[in-house]
Amino acid sequence: MAIKYELIKECKQSGARLGKLHTPHGVIDTPIFMPVGTQATVKSLTPEELIELGSQIILSNTYHLYLRPGNDLIKKAGGLHSFMHWNGPILTDSGGFQVFSLNDLREISEEGVTFRSHLDGSKHFISPEKSIEIQNDLGADIIMAFDECTPYPSSYEYAKNSLERTIRWAKRCIKAHKRKEDQALFGIIQGGEYKDLREKSVKEMIELDLPGYSIGGLSVGEPKELMYDIINYISPLMPKEKPRYLMGVGSPDALVEGVIRGIDMFDCVLQTRIARNGTAMTSGGRVVIKNSKYEKDFSPLDKNCQCYSCKNYSRAYIRHLFKAKEILGLRLISYHNLYFTLNLMKDIRCAIKEDRLLDFKNEFFINYGYLN
């Protein structure tokens, strides 16, 4: 097996789990947040900075890398780790989500999905076999089965067909996977908002005995309460001895709520995306740095933060950088937002260890400005 999940302890206050995930490129403390490096780079930052700010694993995107620079080139470079100079664990998604969300002209058949590149309009076809071939070339530690991400809202019929196809596709992915010894293939649970479909999806996916499972089709426009409700329902059905990954979710409140419900892994582009617009996540809530009230504010982004940006720069300076369109500004906030999030995960792990995650949640949501 490429990876091994070690369950260290379960929280007495909640469904949270403390664990370690052993991968070919290192051991990850779970629950963990994975910064996203869509195009083989976490936007604006170096791998050394990612390590310094606490990243233990990063995510990269199969769809984007397949289109540019191409999986052949990355294979020639010795794989994604070598290509992008990141020697820690990597997870690649299957491309399924992007094929559906970035393409209006896609055509889905049982065989796979035909779509047009968002870069140049050229026509492409990705099947479960092709997705795995690309991911085998990229060489990430964890790869994802090719799924059909059910949109919200969807009819019961649509969600049912979509999850059943996802199961059939997962079987084809397993068959096509050529690097089982050093790449762990995760299955994706679909089923939309329908609990019986989610249950069916979990049960049939578990039968495939994969090294880990992720929950897909959430954070796609549904109310947060519905998302939490579905996780509440699915999580206890998932095997204890395997990691649970909630795809595309990473706002600070959702991280806490997800962990409480037994999730081990998260990823999200939010941290670096809002950083590029000058928005910092802080212990006092969001700081929109271009706001004129920060013009003469010589305090750090977050007075409770120990990151490089907060130790060395003022809000006034970072605001100046954004007003002057200087790249260092978004570097400093990207760094801070990822540090803030990974530090939150560290605090969460500590709270699980001490069986006080619900207490931590209350403090965090009330004292730190993330009200429910």
Would you name the residues annotated as active-site residues?
93, 267
User: What is the Cα–Cα distance from 342 to 198, expressed in whole angstroms?
Assistant: 30
- Closest to a second copy by CB, 304 vs 312, is 312
- Shortest distance (Å) from residue 219 CB to a second copy: 25
- Which x/- pattern, by CB under 8 A, does the window 71-110 give for a second copy? --x--xx-----xxx-------------------------
Assign 144 to helix, strand or coil: strand
Binding positions for a second copy, 217-276, rule CB under 8 A: none
CB of 41 to a second copy, least distance (A): 5
Residue 70: CB minimum distance to a second copy, A? 9
Q: Which of 10, 13, 25, 41 binds a second copy (CB under 8 A)?
A: 41
Closest CB to a second copy among residues 120, 181: 120
Identify whether 239 is preceded by a cis peptide bond (ω within 30 of 0). no
Residues 349/358, Cβ–Cβ less than 8 Å: no
| Residue 44 or 62 having the CB closest to a second copy | 44
Does 62 bind a second copy (CB under 8 A)? Our answer is no
Phi, psi at 39, each rounded to 5°: -105, 45
Per-residue contact track with a second copy, 314 to 353, x per CB under 8 A?
A: x-xx-xxx-xx-xxx-xx----------------------
DSSP symbol at 269: S
Residue with Cβ nearer a second copy (44 or 131): 44
Among 6, 225, 295, 363, binds a second copy (CB under 8 A): 295
Residue with tokens 């929280």: 11
- What gap in Å lies between CA 250 and CA 263, rounded to an integer? 12
- 347 by Cβ neighbours in 10 Å (0-12 / 13-18 / 19+) ranks as middle
- Distance from C-alpha of 243 to C-alpha of 91, rounded to nearest angstrom: 13
State how far the Cα of 58 lies from the Cα of 356, in Å rounded to an integer.
28
Exactly one of 15, 24, 69, 284 binds a second copy (CB under 8 A); which one?
A: 69
**Region near a second copy per CB under 8 A, out of 43-51, 129-137, 163-171, 336-344:** 43-51
Rg (CA), the chain: 20
Instruction: Report CA-CA distances (Å) from 170 to 87, 116, 224.
Output: 28, 23, 28
From CA 282, how far away is CA 315, in angstroms rounded? 12
Which residue in 6, 20, 26, 46 binds a second copy (CB under 8 A)? 46
Residue 302: Cβ within 10 Å count: 23
Q: Count the residues of the shown chain that bind a second copy, applying the rule CB under 8 A.
A: 34
CB of 68 to a second copy, least distance (A): 6
Question: Would you tell me how many other CB atoms lie within 10 Å of the CB of residue 292?
Answer: 7
Please give the structure tokens belonging to residue 33: 């947040």
| Of the residues 97, 146, 313, 370, which one makes contact with a second copy according to CB under 8 A | 313
Between residues 205 and 310, which has the closer beta carbon with respect to a second copy? 310
Q: How far is the CB of 313 from a second copy (least distance, A)?
A: 6
> Of the candidates 40, 59, 210, 247, which one interacts with a second copy according to CB under 8 A?
40
Rounded to the nearest whole angstrom, what is the least distance from the CB of residue 316 to a second copy in the complex? 6
First to last CA, the chain: 40
At 46, list the tokens: 């170096």
* Single-letter amino acid code for the residue at 263: I
Which DSSP category does 188 fall into? E
Q: Which is nearer to a second copy, 144 or 330 (CB)?
A: 330
Residues that bind a second copy (CB under 8 A): 39-41, 43-46, 64, 68-69, 73, 76-77, 83-85, 295-296, 298, 312-314, 316-317, 319-321, 323-324, 326-328, 330-331
